[in-house]
Amino acid sequence: MVPDIERDETPWVRLDYKTPPQEAKKLLDFFDRFVVGQEKPKEKLASKFLTYKHGLNKEDKPAGVLLFPGPSGVGKTSMVKVFSNFLFGSPKTFTRIDCAEYQESHTIARLLGSPAGYVGLWDPDNPDPSRKGIEPQLSQWNIDKFGYQASVPNEVKQRKMRLTEELGKLNQKLQDLKDSQVEGPDDEARLISAFNLSLGEFKKFQAEIRQLDEKYPYRPGGYPAILLFDEIEKMHHEIVKVLLQILDNGMVTLANGKQTILRNCFIFMTSNVGSERLAELLENRGVVGFRTRTVEKIDQLIYKTTLEEIKRSKHFPTELIGRIGKENIMVFRQLKEPEIRKIIDMQLEQAREEIMFKKKISFKLIYDQSLKDYLFEETSDPLNRALGARPVEKIIEVKIIEPVRNLLVKGAENAESGIVANDSVKILAENNEIIVQRASRTPNAV
């Protein structure tokens, strides 16, 4: 007789893998404070970061790779800046490659350095600073510097800065002592004593800097980093092939033969590929019945159109798309009306903080709802419609910040004709015109 096959009586429980963990929600909340909408790219980036943080990513690949295509002005570059702010405390702590500067094949030298035998060959080990050459943008230090600086405590960085300043002063003092004219034995003895004393202090400061460097040594390739290829479709297609090596094994070989390790690096690529077609769609031209489509259908159309343009583009060869992975292409969708209005609120608040901080003056600034409606209508103008939220900042700069600054200057000259401390100021819009009003002052307000 054939024995019965033993049955598995273990109870199995279905697990929810779609809901993000609590740790991811903290990062998503941080994103939500600065980037409006674009939930899928946010969730994808949060997932990539947590995978890296817990050591679950592939060791021979970059920490994370994401391609952000989509219409202009919808938050692609802003997402990278916010992630930089999250990692290092500043939206500027990442290496940005402006691909518009790499439209010719020879500009690859800026990325990888000048070839051997050419002027500017990068030689960081040369003791003569004038012969080190030109440092390429993809040098190890350029990739690591923000992560390394973030790993060193602020008090240590401040101490090194002070020591470096003192070294500069002492170096100048030693040079002046060397050049001093000796006017007798007593004067010579005094100069020698002063020189030896300054030299002793110089060596003492140098030793302290060395101790700090030994306590926090630089480990090439050992720090989290962010590398952005901004508007990658503008880069020469031969240079794009540099990315194949980076995405393949997490490193790139420079012109001097040295390798830059990018296995702790998050690599982002933004693209406006197909922007003309997308602009045409968003301006309600080129598609029959477009005006009757829902926002969701428009988003689907943007997604489909963007992927089609990527497949056609010579800047995205099949092997590059294969290394990025279709699942890592996060198409940014158009912004809805509530999202643009939220961005307007955020930008107005930033404008308020900028004015108060720069002028170091305190006054009450009120934004009327008519102003917000006016700003929204400006973003809906046919010239601005395809630019997403990008026009908002420029409109606020020209039509709100500049007039208020002008009135602050007037107030410094003549209080009655401008704004001074403790004033209440309201900005509104009437008949397509910005109006600035000041509340009546009490007699002792000025």
- Tell me the average pLDDT across 246-258: 90
Predicted confidence at residue 286, as pLDDT, reads 41
Predicted confidence at residue 391, as pLDDT, reads 80
- Tell me the average pLDDT across 234-253: 88
- CB proximity list for 63: less than 8 A, separation 6 or greater: 48, 52, 57, 224, 263, 264, 265, 266
Architecture per CATH, domain 337-438, reads as Orthogonal Bundle (1.10)
- Sign of the C-alpha dihedral, residues 218, 221, 222, 224? positive
Predicted confidence at residue 93, as pLDDT, reads 93
3-state helix, strand, coil in the chain (%, to 5): 55, 10, 35
Q: Is the pLDDT of residue 288 over 50?
A: no
Q: Is the pLDDT of residue 189 over 80?
A: no
Predicted confidence at residue 117, as pLDDT, reads 66
Predicted confidence at residue 433, as pLDDT, reads 84
- Listed by start position, the domains of the chain span 22-29+36-123+222-328, 153-215, 337-438
- Sign of the C-alpha dihedral, residues 17, 23, 29, 30? negative
Q: Is the pLDDT of residue 206 over 60?
A: yes
- Tell me the average pLDDT across 60-65: 92
d(CA 42, CA 34): 11
Q: What is the DSSP letter of 74?
A: S
Predicted confidence at residue 296, as pLDDT, reads 66
- Tell me the average pLDDT across 384-393: 73
Same fold, 22-29+36-123+222-328 and 337-438: no
Which band of pLDDT confidence, cut at 50, 70 and 90, is reported for residue 260?
Answer: very high
pLDDT, tens digit (0-9, with 9 covering 90-100), for 289-344: 444 455 667 777 777 888 888 888 888 888 889 999 889 999 888 788 888 888 88
Which band of pLDDT confidence, cut at 50, 70 and 90, is reported for residue 85?
Answer: very high
Q: Cα torsion at 44, 46, 49, 53 (round to 10°)?
A: -140
Predicted confidence at residue 187, as pLDDT, reads 67
Q: What is the DSSP letter of 431?
A: T
- Any long-range contacts for 18-24 (C-beta under 8 Å, 24+ apart)? 20/46, 20/47, 21/50, 23/50, 24/50
- Tell me the average pLDDT across 69-87: 89
Whether the CB-CB separation of 420 and 362 falls below 8 Å is answered with: no
Q: Is the pLDDT of residue 81 over 90?
A: yes
Q: What is the DSSP letter of 184?
A: S
- Tell me the average pLDDT across 112-135: 72
Q: Tokens representing 33?
A: 């404070």
Q: Is the pLDDT of residue 68 over 90?
A: yes
Residue 13: how many CB atoms within 10 A of its CB? 4
Q: What percent of the chain stands above pLDDT 70?
A: 86
d(CA 250, CA 260): 9
Predicted confidence at residue 86, as pLDDT, reads 92
By C-alpha distance, which of 31, 27, 39 is closest to 78? Answer: 31
Architecture per CATH, domain 22-29+36-123+222-328, reads as 3-Layer(aba) Sandwich (3.40)
Q: Is the pLDDT of residue 1 over 60?
A: no
- Tell me the average pLDDT across 119-129: 68
Lowest mean pLDDT among 64-68, 81-85, 87-91, 178-182: 178-182
Which band of pLDDT confidence, cut at 50, 70 and 90, is reported for residue 145?
Answer: very high
Predicted confidence at residue 285, as pLDDT, reads 42
- Please state, rounded to an integer, the average pLDDT across all residues of the chain: 81
- CB proximity list for 126: less than 8 A, separation 6 or greater: 132, 133
Residue 401: how many CB atoms within 10 A of its CB? 18
Of the two residues 237 and 258, the one the predictor is more confident about is 258
